[in-house]
Amino acid sequence: MSTITQIESKAHLESLIKETAIVVCDFYADWCGPCKAIAPFFQKLSETTAGVPSVRFAKVDTQVHRDIAAAYSVSALPTFIVFKDGAVLERIQGADPRKLQQAVARLAGHLLSGGGSSSSNSGGASASGRNNGNSGGANGSWRGAELPRGYTDITDQIEPKGSELLNADDNSGPVKVLFDGAKPSALGDKKGEEAKTKDWVESGEDDQLLLFMPFQSMVKLHTLQLTSLPAKDDDDAPMRPGKIHLYTNKPHNLDFSEADDTPPTQAIELTEKDWNANGTANIGLRFVKFQNITSLVIYVVSGDGDGDKVRLDRVRLVGESGEKREMGKLEKIGDEPGE
């Protein structure tokens, strides 16, 4: 018996995601080479959850069901969409086995934690033991705060090679550690683990940082999650960010004087009460101003306190990727198999 459901209509898919807690759906086309290449891998992943009634794998032929592809804003092939409790939880564009496997691993962690283990329990937004904000499983990406309902972690849309961090201390880790899905070493159990890994960044001469992040695709940002974990028993420890300015759609990083002279897309003031037990601030963005974003600049204008430096351990982006592409692009996918 096949472990994958072939979707026959839009109503069929809607019924499946309504009746099943978690649905992993592959949007493909027969002419698409990458779709064919990853199909065996998708099949193997489906077999890992065989017998679990709350999880189903499905496939949508976008040549046959263009209405379904349009309804879910599928603009590139293959696209994998994970539905949880009837809403889009995660979206993966392209034949990327690693990202797909990580998504399924996060589902496995969710199931093991007690969430979504049966259809009757699919209504709960949080599983027991997740109040600390760590919504990733043992094999999934760590997050310092819960995701807003209906939105996904799109940190993987950041292009690390094009990212740039200004005024970082020489002893800091590389900029890519900010986007790492691993649990920050400062929250680890082993003494001295933090000092060995250097999976954080600190400012250099003063308490300012400028972080430029280009994206792999156009995104919509809903929430910014920042994690900062200065040592509590060190009088000379750096500060957490206090005043932050955000800038969107810049082709490159700003310098500090340019940032000071440019009106921000949004200005943020953080205080001690904004940081949770994981050292994470969950910052809601003015969603209307963060539509169709190709890059983001985070300017830490100053720290919260009287110290000389600021520290960042993780940056997570929450929102939607590849949403609401022009319908002409969707038609192009089906009409030009040579691309």
CA distances from 182 to 117, 136, 191, 271 (A): 25, 10, 18, 26
Give catalytic status of residue 32 as yes or no. Answer: yes
Which of the residues 22, 24, 29, 35 is marked catalytic?
Answer: 35
Listed in order, strand segments (DSSP E) in 112-240 are: 152-153, 164-166, 201-202, 209-227
Q: Are 163 and 175 in contact (CB under 8 A)?
A: yes
The Cα 338–Cα 323 span in angstroms is 24
Q: Are 44 and 294 in contact (CB under 8 A)?
A: no
DSSP of 279-298: SEEEEE--GGGGSSEEEEEE
DSSP of 107-119: HHHHHHTTTTSSG
Other beta carbons within 10 angstroms of residue 41's beta carbon come to 13
Question: Nearest 5°: phi and psi at 146?
Answer: -65, 155
**DSSP 3-state percent helix, strand, coil across the chain (nearest 5):** 25, 30, 45
Q: Residues 6 or more apart from 1 whose CB is under 8 A from it?
A: none
Give catalytic status of residue 35 as yes or no. Answer: yes
Other beta carbons within 10 angstroms of residue 235's beta carbon come to 6
Tokens of 8: 């026959």
Which of the residues 7, 32, 103, 105 is marked catalytic?
Answer: 32
Active site residues: 32, 35
